[in-house]
Each structure stands twice: as structure tokens, then as C-alpha cells.
């Protein structure tokens, strides 16, 4: 395993964390009375767009996805359209799962969908940028011993941490503490964000300490 590749991944993860920090602090200087709790719906979209922009820029610069055999203009357009459809379907799927786990069905539907978009940005969009709209590759990465590179391992860790963070964030909602951050879906979206950041930090650290045991092979 090359140290330079690990450093590239660490730098990329630092940009993701920076995007989340900037999406939290910069709007307070631009928008009146902006806060993560008070204007949470706006923050969800700002954070999603910021992380999505970093994902796309890093995808273009780092080229972590192998170039397809057919790289014509029509093929690129087809991949882009497929990626957009995959992202939309992912957001709708997350929305449905969130409702099944107890979110309001009709009330606060925009908040629920915005939270689903945030989750898709943390998980599905990274899959699309790193693996392309290739569902068999996604299944391979998330199967046991399916990682073929440190980027695959990073994808596994950040995705799992994001979902677990969102799940843990739901626990305080039914408690009768009457806190502002218990309003749906604040605690869940913050939990997903903290989980995502924790995964971004943990992934390079875990890979570094376990690199002697990791043996990536092409399949």
C-alpha cells in the first residue's frame, strides 16, 4: 500500500470536513438570524450542496474511479444521467425507510426528504463518485472482504458511520426534555453529520494502523 495514496485520501477527507464546517459557519455571516437549529431546513440543503460539490470536484481531480472502456461523450452523458437517477432513487428510498422508522408521513415532509437527501449525499453520492453507477460494484464493496483499495475501505467506514449516526440521533426525540434540538429531524441529521465526520477521521487512521494486515487484490 502506497503512503502517498493514504495521504491523498486523508487530504480529501479533510476537505469534506472543511465543507461541513464552512456550511455551518459562513451562512451566519451572510444570512440574518441563521443558525443550525433555527434554520435547520436551510442548513440541510447548504450542507448537502457543499459536500456534494467537494465530492464532484475531488472525483474530477483524484480520479479514484477507473476510466470506463467506452469514454465517448454519449457514454459520459449516459453515466451522468444514471448517476442523477440513482441519487434521486436513493433519496426516495431513504425517505421511505425514515418514514417506516417513525417519521411523520405527511407532516414535515419537506424536512424528512431534506434529511434523506443529506443521507444520500453522505453515502450514495460517494458511491457514485468513487464507483460510478455500477450497482454490482456497490454490492462487491459492501460485501465481506470486498474492498479492493483504501478508497473502498473508506467508503465502507464513512457510509456505515453516517447511517449509524442517523439511527443514534433518533433516540433523544421521544424523550420529554423539550429541547429545541429534539424537533424533527434535527437530532437525526446532526447524528448523521457527526457520524460522517467520525467516519472521515476514523477511516485513514484505521487503514494506517491496519495496513500490514490489509491485502487488496484485484478481482
Question: Sign of torsion, CA 20 26 30 35?
Answer: positive
**Which cell numbers hold the place of 174?**
421521544
**Which cell numbers hold the place of 204?**
485513514
Q: How far apart are CA 77 and CA 81, in angstroms?
A: 6
Q: How far apart are CA 156 and CA 93, in angstroms?
A: 19
Q: Number of helices (H) and strands (E) in the chain: give both, helices first.
A: 8, 0
Tell me 34's DSSP state: -
First to last CA, the chain: 17
The pLDDT of residue 32: 84
- Give every residue of the chain whose pLDDT is below 70, as ranges: 1-2, 63-71, 215-219
Report which of 112, 126, 87, 113 is spatially closest to residue 173, judged by C-alpha positions: 112
Report which of 52, 26, 178, 109 is spatially closest to residue 35, judged by C-alpha positions: 26
Q: Can you give the length of the chain in residues?
A: 219
**Which cell numbers hold the place of 103?**
417519521
Q: How far apart are CA 155 and CA 157, in angstroms?
A: 6
Q: How far apart are CA 103 and CA 41, in angstroms?
A: 16
Helix (H, G, I), strand (E, B) or coil at 82: helix
Q: How far apart are CA 206 and CA 203, in angstroms?
A: 5
The pLDDT of residue 219: 44
Cβ–Cβ under 8 Å, residues 117 and 89: no
The pLDDT of residue 190: 96
The pLDDT of residue 51: 96
The pLDDT of residue 146: 78
Prediction pTM value? 0.91
- Count other Cβ atoms within 10 Å, centred on residue 219: 6
Tell me 68's DSSP state: P
Cβ–Cβ under 8 Å, residues 199 and 161: yes
The pLDDT of residue 69: 57
Amino acid at each position: 500500500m502506497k503512503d502517498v495514496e493514504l495521504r491523498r485520501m486523508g487530504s480529501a477527507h479533510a476537505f469534506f470536513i472543511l465543507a461541513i464546517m464552512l456550511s455551518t459557519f459562513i451562512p451566519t455571516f451572510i444570512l440574518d438570524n441563521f443558525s443550525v437549529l433555527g434554520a435547520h431546513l436551510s442548513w440541510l440543503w447548504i450542507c448537502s450542496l457543499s459536500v456534494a460539490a467537494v465530492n464532484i470536484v475531488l472525483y474530477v481531480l483524484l480520479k479514484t474511479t477507473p476510466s470506463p472502456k467506452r469514454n465517448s461523450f454519449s457514454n459520459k452523458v449516459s453515466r451522468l444521467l444514471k448517476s442523477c437517477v440513482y441519487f434521486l432513487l436513493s433519496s426516495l428510498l431513504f425517505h421511505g425507510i425514515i418514514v417506516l422508522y417513525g417519521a411523520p408521513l405527511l407532516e414535515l415532509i419537506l424536512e424528512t426528504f431534506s434529511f434523506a437527501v443529506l443521507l444520500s449525499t453522505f453515502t450514495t453520492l460517494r458511491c457514485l463518485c468513487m464507483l460510478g453507477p455500477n450497482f454490482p460494484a456497490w454490492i462487491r464493496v459492501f460485501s465481506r472482504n470486498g474492498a479492493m483499495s483504501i478508497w473502498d475501505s473508506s467508503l465502507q467506514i464513512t457510509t456505515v458511520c453516517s447511517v449509524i449516526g442517523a439511527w443514534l440521533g433518533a433516540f433523544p426525540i421521544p424523550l420529554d426534555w423539550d429541547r429545541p434540538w429534539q424537533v424533527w429531524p434535527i437530532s437525526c441529521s446532526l447524528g448523521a453529520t457527526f457520524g460522517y465526520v467520525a467516519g472521515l477521521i476514523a477511516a485513514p487512521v484505521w487503514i494506517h494502523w491496519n495496513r500490514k494486515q490489509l491485502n487488496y487484490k484485484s478481482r
